Structure 1
């Protein structure tokens, strides 16, 4: 029997992984404790995703907390060597939340990952293990690059090597301001690498830029593009924090990210680290994203501006995915930024989202 294990199976990436990969496995085992509602309140609730997963015939759900080593071990021990692939997407994703609850953040992101790696080492050593890391492990080092301020965005200087393709994996990790979220994710990132490099497990680390998609339950503390679309559909206002709203992010649709994971699984490279993002073609500043959303909803979005940028907030990040594409030439992103925005707009404009819009519109 071939089994796929997905942590954070009710979240954005986990949900897409279940949908896309369930036909390729005999059984999909989901691990999710529903903590996103605790982290972000009703706006971050993904229980609806969990309910959708329940109707998939070969999906089996476990309400387990990755911080609990015994619970994690019990799940992986149940399925043992039949587990062929583990996609670890569970985590605490907010910088602001991590600052207020540093121990909880570290326990979820760092200790939880170690619990999974150790359980995999004991019970399914030969399984592929995909760790969903983040470009926030670099802190604000990109702000030391030569940047140019344009009308609507910050950009790398045209003479700099990163201007054309974006930032590659050679970016350093030291001498930076880094959020507690970045610290916890980097701890797990480095540990995951060692399980691959030192122990020979089939571990891949994917340092992701902004991940988004139609089912992304974005909130103000996390997931700016999804939060912006939801707010625009609801008729609410949006707050920009610092940098003149010109800070740039590239965005990768969760469906394209899952396809990266699948290509890695077919030919895993133990301990490999890859940047995962949408690249220049899928980049936008906050100001540019607001303009795109105004086009989608056909009206102006009330925008307020808070001049102080968030701690260690990067002015410009564009992901260079050429290393991954060299190793896995069969992968290319399929979803453009406009396509992803339109799919999010359609989702939050649907009949099922009417109640959500009313709640957001009235605060």
Structure 2
């Protein structure tokens, strides 16, 4: 039997992974203890996704906290060497939350990842293991690049090599400030590399830029683009934090990210690190994204500006995915930024009159599949 294991199975990337891999494996195992609702409140709750995934015949859910190694090991031991792929998407994704609850953040992101890696080492060592890391491991290093301020965005100076292709994996990790979130994710990132390079396990690390998608449950502390669209649809006020609203992120649709994982699984490179993002074509500043939202809703957004940016908040991040494309030339992103924004607008518009935690039915999930 061919089995895939997905942690954080009820989250944005996790649910897309379950949908994608259910057609490629005999059984998909999901691990998720519903902690996102506890982290971010009702607006961030994705527990409804668990009920919806129960309609998938070859999906089996486990309410497991990845901080508990005994539970992780028990699940992986149950399925053993039939597990061919582990996609580790579970994590705590907020800088601000990590600052307030540093121990919890480290246990979830760093120790939770180590638990999964060690469990795989003991019970399914030949499985491909995908780790979703983040570009936040670089802290504020991107702000040391030569930047130019344009009318609606910050950008990398045109004379710098990163301007055209984006920031690649050669960016320095040292001599930088980073948040506690960045520390916990970097700890997990480095441990994962060691399991690949030292132990020879088929572990790949994906340092992601802004991940989004039509079903992303964005909240003020995490998920900027989804939260922005959700706020615009509801007609609520959006708060910009610093940098004149010109800070730039490139965006990758979760569906395209999961396809990156699949290509890696087909030909894994132990210990490899890849940047994962949408590139310049899918980049936007907050000001530019607000303008796009106003076009979608047909009305101006209420916006409030706070001059103090978040600690280590990058003025401009655009991802260079050329290393991954060289290794896996069959992959390219399929979803453009306008396509993803329109999908998010349609999604949140259909639930504008419902509570923030409301989610689509299983039938609507099927209609959104690609």
**TM-score, normalized by length of structure 2?**
0.96
1:110 paired with 2:115, answer no
> CA offset at residue 24 of structure 1?
0.5
Q: Name the CA distance, whole Å, in 2 between partners of 1:315 and 1:207.
A: 18
Q: Name the CA distance, whole Å, in 1 between partners of 2:67 and 2:11.
A: 17
Contact 2:169–2:274 at 8 Å: present in 1 too?
yes
1:170 paired with 2:166, answer no
> CA offset at residue 237 of structure 1?
0.8
2:236 matched to which residue of 1? 236
2:37 matched to which residue of 1? 37
1:271 matched to which residue of 2? 271
Q: Does the residue aligned with 1:356 lie in a helix, a strand or coil?
A: coil
Unaligned runs of 5+ in 2: 359-370
Contact 1:233–1:357 at 8 Å: present in 2 too?
no
Q: Name the CA distance, whole Å, in 2 between partners of 1:224 and 1:204.
A: 26
> What's the Cα RMSD here?
1.0
Q: Name the CA distance, whole Å, in 2 between partners of 1:183 and 1:92.
A: 12
Contact 1:248–1:285 at 8 Å: present in 2 too?
yes
Q: Name the CA distance, whole Å, in 2 between partners of 1:47 and 1:342.
A: 24
2:298 matched to which residue of 1? 298
Q: Name the CA distance, whole Å, in 2 between partners of 1:84 and 1:301.
A: 47
1:149 paired with 2:149, answer yes
Contact 1:33–1:65 at 8 Å: present in 2 too?
yes
Contact 1:166–1:279 at 8 Å: present in 2 too?
yes
Q: Name the CA distance, whole Å, in 2 between partners of 1:38 and 1:297.
A: 31
Contact 1:146–1:160 at 8 Å: present in 2 too?
yes
Unaligned runs of 5+ in 1: none
Q: Does the residue aligned with 1:355 lie in a helix, a strand or coil?
A: coil
Alignment of 1:208-357 (within 5 A): 208-350=208-350, 352-356=351-355
Contact 1:92–1:108 at 8 Å: present in 2 too?
yes
Contact 1:237–1:303 at 8 Å: present in 2 too?
yes
Q: Does the residue aligned with 1:24 lie in a helix, a strand or coil?
A: coil
Q: Name the CA distance, whole Å, in 1 between partners of 2:43 and 2:270.
A: 37
Deviations, residues 316-335 of structure 1 (Å, cap 9, x unaligned): 00000000000000000000
1:22 matched to which residue of 2? 22
Q: Where in structure 1 do 4 or more consecutive aligned residues deviate above 4 Å?
A: none
Contact 1:230–1:357 at 8 Å: present in 2 too?
no
> CA offset at residue 79 of structure 1?
0.1
Deviations, residues 83-136 of structure 1 (Å, cap 9, x unaligned): 000000000000000000000000000000000000000000000000000000
Alignment of 1:30-109 (within 5 A): 30-109=30-109
Contact 1:252–1:282 at 8 Å: present in 2 too?
yes
Alignment of 1:117-196 (within 5 A): 117-196=117-196
Deviations, residues 173-211 of structure 1 (Å, cap 9, x unaligned): 001110000000000000000000000000000000000
2:200 matched to which residue of 1? 200
Deviations, residues 302-346 of structure 1 (Å, cap 9, x unaligned): 000000000000000000000000000000000000000000011
Q: Name the CA distance, whole Å, in 1 between partners of 2:340 and 2:27.
A: 29
Q: Name the CA distance, whole Å, in 1 between partners of 2:322 and 2:201.
A: 24
Deviations, residues 25-69 of structure 1 (Å, cap 9, x unaligned): 000000000000000000000012111111100000000000000
Q: Name the CA distance, whole Å, in 2 between partners of 1:49 and 1:345.
A: 19
Q: Name the CA distance, whole Å, in 1 between partners of 2:226 and 2:190.
A: 29
1:12 paired with 2:12, answer yes
**TM-score, normalized by length of structure 1?**
0.98
Number of aligned residue pairs: 358
